[in-house]
Structure 1
Amino acid sequence: MAVQPEPDCWSHPHLEVRPSAVAGDGLFATAAIPAGTVVSRLGGRLVTWAELQDLFADPGIPYVDTIAGHGDLHLVLPPGRPIGKSNHSCDPNLWWVAPYTLVARRDLRPGEEVTNDYATSTAAPDFAMECRCGTALCRGLITGADWRRADLRRRYGDHWTPALLTLIRAERA
């Protein structure tokens, strides 16, 4: 059974949106944030894959911010929330600890961009994104099949959205 999200998102008070060298705007720490600190709780509404495809196809909706939820359900975030500006990195400083909760993977410094690995929150078969994170671990291309990579499974352990954890555990069985 899917855990119901809160209707809105929450972000740590020491985060702000500013221009990013990775892509467009990003989310940055304005003060030190210790490892393990909750940085964001995502909220919104759960939709099926078919409903999500309808949202993507709607020309009146310029952008849909979404993550894999549970089974066929996907969380669609309310538009314009700061956490939606968190860019991807192949060596992120945030990771998942609960269905909709991201924490600092390590200590965050003031001025540091807050990032997560998009591969930990999507298994969409058509998802592909060129990566410009610039880290030593950069994969160049992020896809909806990256959850199958052994190196990422080792690196992230159980720090995936529930839908992906279910897929990973099913393959292990």
Structure 2
Amino acid sequence: MPRNDLMDTATLPSGEKGYVARQDVPAGAVVGSWEESAVDSEPTKFTIQVGRDRHVDADAVRYLNHSCVPSTFVDASTGSVVALRPLAAGDALTFFYPSTEWEMTTPFDCACGHAGCLGKITGAEALSADVLRRYAVNDHIRALVADRDAVAVD
């Protein structure tokens, strides 16, 4: 379980496991955090990318599901999960997978159901800089986009 008092593991309406807010949470609050204990160079379905060639398997993100309209941001530089908006107790904690992942080891068809859903989620590599500008993304993703396109993602 992640180091915090603000998230619980629950079975979501979809039937899959996910993290939910344990109590009301203000925007900007850290709802989870982790310490890097094992850094891998190779990604798996359960790791998150924290640098160009660095991936960690952390309990704080193990059951954070994807959404094209995420409720949290996974900050790879600080090892924290931050609420992007006020959350009510029981709200699903989700993040935008391409905010950390350049190339997904297990791409999938998104079922978030939001207007503007991106459909197939394969990682930031497949998204334009314009699309990525709509989201909070990590520094390593910004750098990889800049290398690919010779443009900055703010």
TM-score when normalising by structure 2: 0.80
Structure in which a larger fraction of residues adopt helix: 1
Q: Displacement of 1:151 after TM fit? A: 4.0
**Contact residue 124 and residue 141 of structure 2 kept, 8 A:** no
State whether residues 148 and 168 of structure 1, in contact with CA within 8 Å, keep that contact through their aligned partners in structure 2. no
Amino acid at match of 2:54: L
User: d(CA) in 2 for partners of 1:9 and 1:31?
Assistant: 15
Q: Which position in structure 2 is the counterpart of 1:47?
A: 40
In 1, the alpha carbon distance for the partners of 2:89 and 2:122 equals 30
Q: How does 1:96-107 map to 2 (within 5 A)?
A: 96-99=74-77, 100-107=79-86
Amino acid at match of 2:140: A
How far apart, in 2, do the equivalents of 1:125 and 1:19 lie? 24
Select 1:90's aligned residue among 59, 64, 68: 68
- Counterpart-to-counterpart distance in 1, 2:7 and 2:80: 15
Please provide the CA RMSD for this pair. Answer: 2.5
Amino acid at match of 2:67: S
| Same amino acid, percent of matched pairs | 28
Superposed CA deviations along residues 6-58 of structure 1, whole A, max 9, x for unmatched, are xx952x31211111134611111121100000112233321213xx4xxx5xx
Query: What does residue 20 of structure 1 align with?
Result: 12
Paired position in structure 2 for 1:3: none
Structure 2 CA distance, aligned partners of 1:145 and 1:98? 15
Q: Flag the 1:9–1:18 CA change in 2: closer, same or farther, 3 A.
A: closer
Q: How many residues align?
A: 148
65-74 or 93-102: which moved more?
93-102
Tell me which of the two structures has the higher relative contact order, counting C-alpha pairs closer than 8 angstroms and 6 or more residues apart: 1
Structure 2 unmatched runs, 5+:
none
Q: Which residue of 2 aligns with 1:135?
A: 114
Q: What is the aligned counterpart of 2:100 among 121, 127, 133?
A: 121
Moved over 4 A (4+): none
**Alignment gaps of 5+ in structure 1:** 1-7, 57-63
Measured in 2, the distance between the counterparts of 1:137 and 1:46 equals 34
Look up the SS of the partner of 1:135 in the other structure: coil
- The correspondence for 1:38, drawn from 30, 40, 64, is 30
Which residue of 1 is the match for residue 128 of structure 2?
149
- Per-residue deviation, residues 122-173 of structure 1 (Å, max 9, x unmatched): 11265411111122232221112456323432212xx323321221343316
- Aligned mates of 1:86, 1:125 — CA distance in 2: 15
Contact residue 33 and residue 108 of structure 1 kept, 8 A: yes
* Aligned-partner residue type, residue 65 of structure 1: F
